[in-house]
């Protein structure tokens, strides 16, 4: 199984890199994890709605360029569907059972994802209505992916 994270921007914080690295190591016995960073657009504090849309569209083109047709895509979006860890684990298990061995998760930049990326996604997933830094979201997502594999394997990690 292949799991790809497409993320906007570079990860700078050492503690986040260490956490992601730890979960990536743990995940290596379950899947091949690939994290692809695409460049973020410079976005000054005060942008018009049209300028914000342009930033999202430019980042969206970069994201879509990294997605292949056969990939099942989860877009992380605040208005996406919330799932429990158990529901997420079941969803991953069912996807792999029914032939989806390439799962892709997309985390947008500070302004979110373009409508084109949201349209390409097979599903939108939300981790709640909190706003989290997208760099921190990477760590949360990788931990939840690991947790889903542990749930599916019957491990006590989840408790």
| pTM of the full structure | 0.96
Provide the edge-to-edge strand list for the sheet that holds 123-126: 32-38, 2-8, 102-107, 72-82, 123-126
pLDDT for 118-139, tens place per residue? Answer: 999 999 999 998 888 889 999 9
113 is in an annotated binding site: no
Asked if residue 76 belongs to a known ligand binding site, the reply is yes
- Domain ranges, residue 116: 2-158
Q: Rounded CA gap, 155 and 70, in Å?
A: 30
pLDDT digits (tens, 9 = 90+) for 58-96: 999 999 999 999 999 999 998 999 999 999 999 999 999
Per the DSSP assignment, residues forming a β-bridge with 104 are 4, 73
CATH code, 136 = 3.40.1280.10
In sequence order, what are the residues at sequence separation of 6 or more whose Cβ sits closer than 8 angstroms to the Cβ of residue 42? none
Q: Is the pLDDT of residue 43 over 90?
A: no
Query: Helix, strand or coil for residue 6?
Result: strand
Q: How far is CA 29 from the centre of its chain?
A: 20
Tally the domains of the chain. 1
């Amino acid at each position: 199984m292949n799991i790809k994270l497409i993320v906007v921007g570079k990860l700078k914080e050492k503690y986040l890199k260490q956490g992601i690295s730890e979960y990536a190591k743990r995940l290596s016995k379950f899947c091949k994890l690939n994290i692809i960073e695409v460049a973020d657009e410079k976005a000054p504090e005060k942008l018009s709605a049209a300028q914000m849309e342009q930033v999202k569209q430019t980042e969206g083109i970069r994201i879509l360029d990294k997605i292949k047709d056969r990939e099942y895509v989860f877009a992380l979006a605040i208005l996406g569907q919330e799932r429990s860890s158990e529901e997420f684990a079941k969803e991953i298990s069912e996807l792999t059972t029914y032939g989806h061995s390439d799962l892709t998760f997309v985390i947008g930049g500070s302004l979110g994802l373009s409508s084109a990326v949201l349209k390409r996604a097979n599903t939108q997933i939300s981790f709640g209505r909190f706003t989290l830094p997208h760099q921190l979201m990477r760590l949360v997502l990788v931990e939840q992916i690991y947790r889903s594999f542990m749930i599916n394997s019957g491990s006590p990690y989840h408790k």
